[in-house]
């Protein structure tokens, strides 16, 4: 008896679905990173990349839902145009998630140009944590880094617990600086007993020197420097040159090594840097052991870990844990986004992530201080 037409159609459809599933399984789970691997004068993207790779190697010992995880990288050369050029090329590789893009201009263009509206991909984490990139943000853009607002609030309340009542701020004449100053003013108003004055500056050396000298006359007990990473480091150097010996605080984007390089060990000593992750070189948390074991195996030559290493590791691990919890055997980006918002709190052994109340999963902020040896202490 010849099979019916309906039966033939059913058989063809089943074979097609089986073939599609087999191809997806063969490809495995793909992650991508578009970032400034060149042009940016600090190794942020490279260190984030090493952290991602450490997690990927760790995850692949058992796999996720029977699949291996792979990672690709694309260099946007620290420009929004570069990011826009790399984004469609990245999608051709069918990643379920892109991890930790870096650069406010690139991320803003991604949101302004609505690249995520139709793209079948989730973006996990973004640097920096500017409020303009989070409010309203996007349903496919998730953050595990505490934002600038949380960092500034932590610095202001920290200065009050140290007994300070008079603060000054040196802030960059760009949105990252002016918005930071506005948030610092709000935090000061909300913190009883704190007054705050501000001095705005351009990035050239002459402007910074003039602003630092103006600020030195304000008799503040503590100083915030707000702006891009290079501006904050150069601002510290200018303030020390102008005779400011008071405590200085900056946001998490500035590596301690850059401050030491520009201000010297003595100028960097005592500078407080907001930290949005636990100490990557600590020894007390389960997270420390798991992260450091992964890094040691993947990059044995790296002897000291940075917050960007840990950021890459945790960003990728958050994606991995959500994929494990997905009900789909072959999880899509849509399934990943749905799982992230519904899975509740995940404790990574000392760092918790929870997207049940929104797309910002962590508000963790600590203060690290540069010691007399130029190293960051927690």
Indicate yes or no: pTM above 0.85.
Answer: yes
Q: What DSSP letter does each residue of 168-185 carry, written as one string? A: EEEEESSHHHHHHHHHHH
Phi, psi of 182 (to 5 degrees): -60, -40
- The residue among 351, 176, 172, 169 whose CA lies nearest residue 244 is 169
- Nearest-angstrom CA–CA distance, 331 and 95: 11
- Nearest-angstrom CA–CA distance, 208 and 173: 11
At residue 132, the pLDDT reads: 85
- Nearest-angstrom CA–CA distance, 95 and 24: 11
Residue 124 belongs to what H/E stretch? Answer: strand 122-124
- Nearest-angstrom CA–CA distance, 40 and 49: 14
Residue 313 belongs to what H/E stretch? Answer: helix 307-325
- Answer yes or no: CATH 3.40.50.2300 is held by domain 9-146+284-353: yes
- Residue-level pLDDT, tens digit, the chain, 378 residues: 444 444 434 443 334 333 434 444 456 999 999 999 998 877 899 999 999 999 999 999 999 999 999 999 999 999 999 999 999 999 999 999 999 999 988 999 999 999 999 999 999 999 988 888 898 899 999 999 999 999 999 999 999 999 999 999 999 998 889 999 999 999 999 999 999 999 999 999 999 999 999 999 998 999 999 998 899 999 999 999 999 999 999 999 998 999 999 999 999 999 999 999 999 999 999 999 999 999 999 999 999 999 999 999 999 999 999 999 998 878 889 999 999 999 999 999 999 999 999 999 999 999 999 999 999 999
At residue 23, the pLDDT reads: 42
Positions of CATH 3.40.50.2300 in the chain: 9-146+284-353, 149-275
At residue 251, the pLDDT reads: 96
- Nearest-angstrom CA–CA distance, 293 and 299: 10
At residue 97, the pLDDT reads: 98
At residue 20, the pLDDT reads: 37
The CATH architecture to which 149-275 belongs is: 3-Layer(aba) Sandwich (3.40)
- Nearest-angstrom CA–CA distance, 218 and 168: 7
At residue 270, the pLDDT reads: 96
At residue 6, the pLDDT reads: 42
- Nearest-angstrom CA–CA distance, 160 and 300: 42
């Amino acid at each position: 008896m010849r099979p019916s037409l309906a039966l033939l159609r059913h058989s063809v459809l089943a074979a097609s679905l089986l073939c599609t599933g087999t191809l997806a399984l063969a490809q495995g789970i793909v992650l991508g990173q578009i970032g400034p691997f060149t042009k940016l004068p600090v190794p942020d993207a490279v260190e984030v990349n090493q952290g991602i790779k450490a997690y990927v190697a760790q995850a692949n010992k058992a796999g996720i839902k029977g699949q291996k995880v792979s990672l690709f990288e694309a260099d946007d050369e620290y420009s929004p145009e570069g990011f826009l050029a790399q984004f469609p090329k990245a999608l051709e590789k069918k990643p379920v998630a892109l991890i930790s893009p870096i650069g406010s201009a690139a991320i803003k263009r991604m949101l302004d140009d609505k690249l995520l509206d139709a793209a079948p991909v989730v973006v996990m984490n973004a640097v920096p944590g500017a409020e303009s990139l989070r409010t309203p943000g996007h349903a496919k853009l998730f953050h595990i880094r505490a934002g600038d607002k949380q960092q500034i609030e932590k610095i202001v309340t920290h200065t009050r617990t140290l007994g300070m009542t008079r603060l000054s701020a040196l802030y960059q004449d760009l949105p990252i600086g002016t918005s930071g100053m506005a948030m610092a003013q709000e935090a000061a108003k909300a913190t009883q007993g704190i007054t705050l004055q501000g001095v705005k500056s351009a990035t050239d050396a002459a402007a910074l020197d003039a602003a630092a000298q103006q600020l030195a006359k304000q008799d503040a007990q503590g100083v915030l420097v707000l702006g891009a990473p290079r501006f904050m480091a150069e601002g510290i150097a200018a303030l020390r040159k102008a005779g400011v010996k008071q405590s200085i605080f900056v946001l998490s984007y500035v590596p301690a090594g850059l401050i030491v390089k520009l201000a010297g060990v003595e100028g960097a000593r005592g500078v407080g840097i907001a930290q949005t992750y636990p100490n990557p070189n600590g020894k007390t948390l389960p997270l420390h052991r798991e992260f450091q074991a992964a890094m040691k195996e993947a990059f044995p030559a790296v002897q000291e870990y940075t917050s960007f290493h840990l950021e890459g590791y945790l960003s990728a691990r958050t994606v991995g844990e959500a994929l494990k919890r997905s009900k789909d055997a072959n999880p899509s980006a849509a399934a990943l986004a749905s799982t992230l918002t519904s899975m509740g709190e995940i404790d990574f052994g000392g760092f918790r992530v929870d997207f049940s109340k929104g797309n910002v999963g962590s508000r963790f902020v600590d203060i690290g201080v540069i010691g007399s040896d130029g190293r960051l202490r927690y």
